[in-house]
Structure 1
Amino acid sequence: MSERPPERPLFQQVPLFAVVGVAATATHVAAALAARELAHLSPLAANLVGYLGAVGVSYLGNARFTFRRAVWHGPQFVRFVAVSLAGLALTQGLTWLLVERLGWPFGAGLAVVAVAVPALSFVLQRVWAFRRTP
């Protein structure tokens, strides 16, 4: 039985989480553009392809590098997907509330989303999705 690597300290996890997030975002954009341009998918279908690719990159990157967890762990993956979907819902909800209902400029609403959603996602991933189990 191999020994688990030690938990990374918070000050190392945060920048690694950011790097994985940038890689996942780049994957999302590249996959969505490719699906739209090469496969001629609708914008929503192409965006879904991008999202699915980004979820894979985010899960693998955060499991392996940010939180040093086993990659092939079913319950952990389910928790991660729940956090990811909650982040998607929060993104949509905040955009609707701030821009549609309160009349904020889109850029201002997007700035709130760009800070709030990754911060909440990091916390939920750290304490729940990728929690260290005995």
Structure 2
Amino acid sequence: MMAGPRSLPPVLATLLRFGTVGVVVAAIYALGFALLAGAGLASAPASTIAYLAAIVVQFLGHRHFTFRSGGALGRTAGRFLAVNGLGLGLSTALVLVLRDLIGLDALTTGLAVSLALAAMNWVILQHWVFRR
């Protein structure tokens, strides 16, 4: 008799769910921004609306799918918003250093910022925001 497929270690399964939510959220933001800007909305409001839509999906996706958290909604939402504020500050600082001081191109800077934020979110979301 053949053995069935082995299940993934819990941390790897959670990491895959985390990445899945991240890809969906990035797509929602990018498509939302493109649609709104393409419809004639100015860049700043288009970005803000797309970001707000994406952040709602990010919170719900990580709460219910990635970390399967049953924590109090108000507490986890407040912590989640605090982490996003920290992420905004970190991304701004990294852009200033990598792009303006070091002189990296925009794509490399964007990728570096995205990876740094993903790593930060992975640690803080699982150990503080959505911890069980």
Interval containing the TM-score (normalised by the shorter chain): 0.7 to 0.9
Q: How many residues align?
A: 124
- 1:26-65 mapped onto 2 (5 Å cutoff): 26-38=27-39, 40-65=40-65
- Determine the structure 2 residue equivalent to 1:5: none
Root mean square deviation of aligned Cα: 1.8
In the TM superposition, residue 114 of structure 1 has moved relative to its aligned partner by 2.4
Distance 2:83 2:11 in 1: 19
Percent identical among aligned pairs is 30
Larger Rg: 2
Deviations 1:77-131 (A, max 9, x none): 1101111221122112101111101222333322321221101111010111112
Distance 2:38 2:104 in 1: 33
TM-score by length of 2: 0.85
- 1:1-134 mapped onto 2 (5 Å cutoff): 9-38=10-39, 40-70=40-70, 73-132=73-132
Structure 1: where are the runs of 5+ without partners?
Answer: 1-7
Distance 1:71 1:37, change over 3 A: farther
TM-score by length of 1: 0.83
Runs of 4+, deviation exceeding 3 Å: none
